[in-house]
């Protein structure tokens, strides 16, 4: 087993690439009773067109299959629902789907191996029938309609619509009622057999275990399945420019919601780039920034916005989201602040202070088994070892950060998405 140790934070990760192609990762936590397991596949909502290993022709499946599969995996041929089984054991179990991966997980202090039995059983034994697929369409249809009424989700999706012309990242992870109506058991089995192959999966354990012992326990629960080779993922061409600068939707909200987006392009030095962007975002509109303080004093902002840099190997963007009494004024002042920062330069003291704060936040993530395991899984599917963020922080200097400021924070790539009550309702 390969051991990677980060001496700066005194943490280790044990990594083993199994014969079937699956990657196993173990992060020891000897100071906690909590145990956490997350098993993921590099298959998310972005993958709707692909070439199955060993085949020549691409196939395209309806939008929403990855999320649909996640829902159906808990249902077993014996009539049991594995989520209910895990809950009855007293463990906290769940699953989720993102743009680039799907994951199944649980956290517990007791009955770990009984829960591991169930997790590794249901993920490896799908059970789809015409009847249970049709039933699930109704359940997911209700979920889709619920999200359609969720302003925070709409302002986010609309921001992606304003940035992306063709890339599937702009589409709802759940699909639509129309797209899921075309899903059947054959499509589910096709996608399961393609993407739930061990060579496309990784399993992370975090807790107080002996490395070899927990590895052997995982291996003993794997069914005999060979690697099926590389999956060819096909994405449409995406222009560099945004679709539109502004997009607004009217919904019942007590205060307008906003999302400021900046479209970026994928980059090989993604860890270093993302760290510099995080520093810049905190300098521009973080809690200690001049812009945030001014907007707070003017009653335009009441809570610091969420600052995110989202990326995979084929898309990247910044999203700043929150509530504001005047999103347009905030957007204008945000652009002014970026201009001033480019003209006047970055203050070295502010830069060093924020850099230390971000470093401290990374270190804190290792205090929690859930944060640690989920981070290693998500980063793995992006081709990153999570320790790289700690290691790269020292290489982020003022010159590089200035370069990223000029390269990424470009006004023509900025969009504003808002959700507001109608003017009629506002007046009432």
Q: pLDDT digit string (tens) for 262-279?
A: 999 988 889 999 999 999
Question: What are the structural domains of the chain?
Answer: 2-233 (3.30.830.10), 246-427 (3.30.830.10)
pLDDT at 63: 94
Catalytic residues: 70
Structure confidence at residue 427 as a pLDDT band (50, 70, 90): very low
Q: What is the pLDDT of residues 334-364, one digit of tens each?
A: 999 999 999 999 999 999 999 999 999 999 9
Assess contact for 373 and 36: CB atoms under 8 A.
yes
Angstrom distances, CA of residue 83 to CA of 116, 143, 426: 12, 18, 44
Q: Is the pLDDT of residue 95 over 80?
A: yes
Mean pLDDT calculated for residue range 381-407: 94
Q: Considering just the CA atoms, what is the radius of gyration of the chain in Å? A: 23
């Amino acid at each position: 087993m390969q051991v990677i140790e980060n001496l700066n934070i005194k943490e280790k990760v044990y990594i083993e690439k199994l014969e079937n192609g699956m990657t196993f990762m173990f992060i020891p936590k000897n100071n906690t009773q909590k145990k956490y397991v997350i098993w993921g596949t590099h298959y998310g909502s972005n993958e709707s067109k692909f070439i199955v290993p060993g085949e020549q022709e691409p196939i395209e499946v309806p939008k929403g299959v990855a999320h649909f599969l996640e829902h159906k995996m808990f249902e077993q041929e014996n009539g049991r629902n594995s989520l209910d089984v895990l809950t009855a054991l007293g463990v906290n179990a769940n699953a989720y789907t993102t743009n680039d991966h799907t994951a199944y997980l649980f956290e517990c202090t007791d009955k770990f191996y009984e829960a591991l039995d169930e997790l590794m059983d249901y993920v490896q034994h799908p059970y789809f029938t015409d009847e249970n697929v049709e039933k699930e369409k109704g359940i997911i249809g209700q979920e889709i309609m619920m999200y359609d009424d969720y302003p925070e989700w709409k302002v986010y999706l609309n921001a992606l619509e304003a940035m992306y012309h063709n890339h599937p990242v702009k589409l709802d992870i759940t699909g639509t009622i129309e797209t899921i109506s075309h899903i059947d058991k054959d499509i589910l089995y096709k996608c399961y057999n393609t993407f739930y192959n061990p060579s496309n999966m990784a399993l992370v354990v975090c807790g107080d275990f002996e490395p070899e012992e927990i590895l052997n326990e995982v291996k003993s629960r794997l069914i005999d399945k060979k690697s099926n080779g590389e999956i060819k993922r096909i994405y449409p061409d995406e222009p560099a420019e945004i679709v539109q600068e502004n997009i607004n939707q009217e919904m019942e909200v007590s205060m307008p919601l906003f999302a400021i987006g900046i479209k970026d392009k994928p980059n090989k030095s993604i860890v270093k780039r993302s760290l510099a962007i995080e520093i810049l975002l905190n300098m521009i509109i973080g809690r200690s920034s001049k812009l945030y303080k001014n907007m707070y004093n003017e009653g335009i902002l009441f809570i610091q916005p969420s600052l995110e840099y989202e990326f995979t190997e084929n898309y990247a963007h910044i999203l700043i989201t929150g509530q504001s009494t005047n999103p347009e004024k905030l957007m204008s002042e945000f652009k002014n602040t970026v201009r001033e920062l480019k003209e006047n330069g970055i203050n070295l003291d502010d830069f060093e202070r924020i850099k230390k704060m971000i470093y401290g936040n990374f270190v804190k993530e290792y205090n929690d088994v859930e944060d640690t395991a989920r981070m290693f899984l998500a980063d793995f599917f992006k081709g990153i070892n999570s320790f790289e963020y700690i290691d790269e922080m020292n290489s982020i200097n003022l010159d590089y950060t200035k370069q990223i400021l000029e390269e990424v924070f470009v006004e023509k790539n900025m969009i504003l998405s808002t959700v507001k009550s109608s003017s009629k309702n506002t007046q009432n």
